[in-house]
Amino acid sequence: MRVPLTVSDFVHRAEQVFADTTATVDEPNQPAPPVPTTTHRRFAERVRAWQAGFDALGLAEGDRVAVVSQNSARLLELLHAVPGTGRVCVPVNFRLRPEEVAYIVEHSGASALLVDPELDLGGVTAPHRFTLGEETEALMRFDAEPRPWREPDEDATATINYTSGTTARPKGVRMTHRNIWLNAVTFALHARVWERDVYLHTLPMFHCNGWGMPFGLAGLGVPQVVLRKVDGTEILTRVRDHGVTLMCGAPAVWNAVLDAAQGWDGEVPGRDRVRIVCAGAPPPSRTIARVEEELGWEFLQLYGLTETSPLLTFNRTRPGDDRLAPDERARKLSRAGAPALGVRLRISDTGEVLARGNVVMAGYWDNPEATAEALDGGWFHTGDGGALDDEGHLTISDRKKDVIITGGENVSSIEVEDALFAHPAVAEAAVIGVPHDKWGETVKALVVPVGGAEVTEAELIAHCKARLAGYKAPTSVEFRDAIPRTATGKVQKFKLREPYWSGLSREVN
């Protein structure tokens, strides 16, 4: 008889097979009392206690439970506990303003809201509201009579993950148990995860990469070490102290680690042991080369979206790649990668990446128009421009909305940013299109220099012209102290564009 593919499967197996080995190590630096280091048996007991507590509240199957929290062991437990009983988990970006959180809670129809004690969300309400920590420990029912693990319908909604809104309200992405199960197993297979790994959470767990991976890790008995806030030195310390072997993060995370490694006392930990999965934004080839050469960590890349659970492609070195020159090896690793097992990709006539597979969302919550548009023709429309090469690997050229059209020529902001990152004085860079009377828009670079470095606008423009076609090079460079990013490290280009396009009849988004 067929067994449904549900979230419950992972904790159930971990409790059976890895009962007395470490499951979680909580973040010690948080306002709520940390959860003591747990075994897989204790983790399963806590998941069941959450579920019994929700039962006692009267929450029914299908009810939504919203959670707004920075990374913690409690949030990790909730990712399993809520959907494991047929309820729907709504992980919310903790960096949103209260009115934005209130919109998501209201739009999802959440019956319960659980909030990190560090967050000020006093005006956000739900029928049941709790602060994570002592209040939720009192909610949990450890004395409830043990019940068998429940098996919801694998096609039922397990989570609703809201995409970050830029020019419109965020959309709630409905992920099914089947979506999550297949994504977790596929990731574990491609990343070669096994029980001797130790995973460090450097991504926020509300993000698709942050919540998409813990399930497969739990089912394979992998200890999960919680990091609340990204800090390069803290990451290196956790790698050393806990024997970390696997992490996932955006390029900004790895740049922070590289910076911290410069001042690290002694040999950088994890050499020839750590694998990092880069996701969230295309990495500069220079970052890849530095990670592998300076840290001795293996670099892997993942591409996907919230709407695809997220894994669509995976890229890691192939036999023989170790004989390549470092620059060529980094160039090959900078591609998004080959389609993951079970995924079908094609490029539309307009150059957009389209995808099919069991990891594609069921649709947007309470938004049939957006669902129909995104899934038009039986393919998910990613909104990313890209191309497939002779090796079957996908390269992302740009978000369609981030392509700069200057004088009728398309310019990929990613390509220009990669050229800028090749300059030793550039720490961060973001390229946008700004209005131009003659060309419609023109290329502008916003640059954060390396600390102490001196570099001029003319020097960076000349540097790019030596590497790119003339029309692709920036026509202006503005130096900044910082570049705005999302919680996962993505550059918020809509914020960078806003002052230049404000008040104009046409805006690039």
Residue 2 located in a structural domain: no
Is the backbone of residue 313 left (phi > 0), alpha (psi -120 to 50) or beta?
beta
Instruction: Tell me the angle at which helices 40-57 and 8-17 cross, rounded to the nearest 10 degrees.
Output: 140
Q: What is the mean pLDDT of each run of 10 residues along the chain (509 residues)?
A: 93 97 97 97 97 97 97 97 97 87 96 97 96 97 85 96 69 96 96 97 85 89 96 97 95 89 95 92 84 96 93 91 87 94 96 96 97 97 93 84 73 87 94 83 94 92 89 93 82 87 54
| Chosen domain end from 383, 398, 413 | 398
328 and 360 in a common domain = no
- Sheet arrangement for strand 476-479: 426-436, 440-449, 476-479
Would you give the DSSP letter of residue 187?
A: H
133 and 21 in a common domain = yes
The answer to whether 62 and 87 are in contact (CB under 8 A) is: yes
**Residue 10: its pLDDT value, please?**
97
Residue 506 located in a structural domain: no
428 and 385 in a common domain = no
228 and 376 in a common domain = no
330 and 449 in a common domain = no
Range of the domain at 371: 343-398
Residue 509 located in a structural domain: no
Report helix, strand or coil for 360: coil
**C-alpha span between 369 and 395 (Å, rounded):** 29
CA neighbor of 336 nearest in space, from 421, 278, 276, 250: 278
375 and 312 in a common domain = no
For 392, the token pair is 């079957």
243 and 126 in a common domain = yes
| Chosen domain end from 375, 398, 421 | 398
CA neighbor of 303 nearest in space, from 292, 291, 286, 315: 315
Q: Which DSSP helix (H) or strand (E) runs through 302?
A: strand 298-304
- DSSP states of 34-99: PPPPEEHHHHHHHHHHHHHHHHHHTPPTT-EEEEE-SS-HHHHHHHHHHHHTT-EEEEE-TTS-HH
205 and 101 in a common domain = yes
**C-alpha span between 388 and 182 (Å, rounded):** 24
Residue 3 located in a structural domain: no
Cα of 103 vs its chain's centroid, Å: 22
- Whole-prediction pTM: 0.85
347 and 330 in a common domain = no
414 and 349 in a common domain = no
388 and 286 in a common domain = no
- Sheet arrangement for strand 352-357: 343-347, 352-357, 380-388, 394-399
Domain of 454, CATH number, reads 3.30.300.30
Buried b (16+ CB within 10 A) or exposed e, 226-252: bbbebbbebbbebbeebbbbbbbbbbb
Domain of 82, CATH number, reads 3.40.50.12780
Residue 507 located in a structural domain: no
Please report the sign of the dihedral spanned by the C-alpha atoms of residue 191, residue 197, residue 202, residue 208.
positive
**C-alpha span between 200 and 24 (Å, rounded):** 10
Domain total of the chain: 3
Residue 508 located in a structural domain: no
Integer angstrom CA distances of residue 200 from 241, 286, 382: 11, 24, 28
Question: CA angle, corner 383, sides to 381 and 384, nearest 5?
Answer: 115
| Chosen domain end from 298, 315, 339 | 339
Residue 1 located in a structural domain: no
347 and 299 in a common domain = no
Residue 261 located in a structural domain: yes
Domain of 371, CATH number, reads 2.30.38.10
